[in-house]
Amino acid sequence: MESIQAIKQRFGIIGNDAKLNRSIEKAIQVAPTDISILVTGESGVGKESIPKIIHQLSHRKHGKYIAVNCGAIPEGTIDSELFGHEKGAFTGATQTRSGYFEVADGGTIFLDEVGELPLTTQVRLLRVLENGEFIKVGSSKVQKTDVRIVAATNVNMFEAIKKEKFREDLYYRLSTIEINLPALRERKDDIHLLFRKFASDFALKYKMPTVKLTEEAIHLLTSYRWNGNIRQLRNVAEQVSVLEHNRSISGTTLKNYLPTGAGQNLPAVIKDTKSESDFSNEREILYKVLFDMKSDLNDLKKLTMEIMKSGNSSEVEKDNEGLIQKIYGDDEDETPKDIPMLAIPEHREEIIEPTIQTEDKYHFAEEIEEEETLSLHDKELELIKKSLERHSGKRKLAAAELGISERTLYRKIKQFDL
């Protein structure tokens, strides 16, 4: 059995972290068996290295090794890619095609991003794991295959199972042995080592001197969170190698290549989603406000109608003291002292609406004195006279202001002998 250090050199793995070494050790131990393996870890930690190690150290090393990115294949064609199809099975199937499980017979299949598989495909995969059988799309013939399955995912599988996006029985068949690769931020001592390796590779590739980091830059590099892990670190190393003329990289220069907050080891935890109970409480408050507004509006309508019917604002105010208090609040300054009587024409559609001005408080446009000496007839006559005087006797403008038709105004003029 090869040593961990020999395996690292053979497969180009950089780092001396204990967690990384443990993951490689597990891969070496399970390689001679045919046990299904699930490799877990964040995106960009290098999960693709583990199935290569397992395949090369197994008795299948002379068979085919096929890596399949399950998340990159459209849902409509994934079954055909994995299991093959018969001629005429669907539109465009002009000939019979062998799938990966048929081609890799005797070898190893690496299913990357297995958590993205559709549920229907998961059922087919479970059958392969249980008895090595599969059926091509459009066929009824059962075929056998002998493949070693190594899967990888960056999805929280228990959350996916809970949300019914991944079958629980398939998870336990895939994860007979689970190998977890640590995130780059958990391998602080390896970060600078990896950067130096990448910088050396890019210097050779682009035929230029290797960039070197100052102590300040090294501290910044190791304290950064690296959400994109090794993939992100490699990207930064390439950018710095190509764009910077000065081969000595300071912390200020390096910071320009890192997203905001580069000096922080851990980000602030921000709850970006609300629980269902939070939304429920907000809905209840919103509904209550709307219902209260509707109730106040109905009360205001009722009060207005009573004033219109009785014509006596003082009597209405006295009878509806509680209702007025509810609408305008407890502050005496906000409670209207006088409720004006509205002039009501003969027909409902010709009701004259009072003019309301909005200020710090709500006031009626014209204050009406306490003494109500005018009759409804006199009030109507007075309004018509004022409107005609304001518009120099122009009936069309006066009718528009009063909210009645010109014909009705003409009849009123005749009626009142104006």
User: Model-level pTM?
Assistant: 0.62
- The architecture of the domain spanning 341-418 is Orthogonal Bundle (1.10)
Q: What is the pLDDT of residues 148-175, one digit of tens each?
A: 999 999 999 999 999 999 999 999 999 9
4 close to 16: Cβ distance less than 8 angstroms: no
- Condensed to tens digits (0 to 9), the pLDDT of residues 19-48 reads 999 999 999 999 999 999 999 999 999 999
CATH value of 4-182 in 3.30.830.10, 3.30.450.20, 2.60.40.790, 3.40.50.300: 3.40.50.300
From the candidate CATH numbers 2.40.30.10, 1.10.8.60, 3.40.50.300, 3.10.20.600, the one assigned to the domain spanning 185-255: 1.10.8.60
Domain boundaries, the chain: 4-182, 185-255, 274-339, 341-418
Residue 367 confidence (pLDDT): 44
> Would you place residue 376 in the very low, low, confident or very high pLDDT band (cuts 50, 70, 90)?
low
pLDDT of 250:
95
Predicted confidence at residue 332, as pLDDT, reads 44
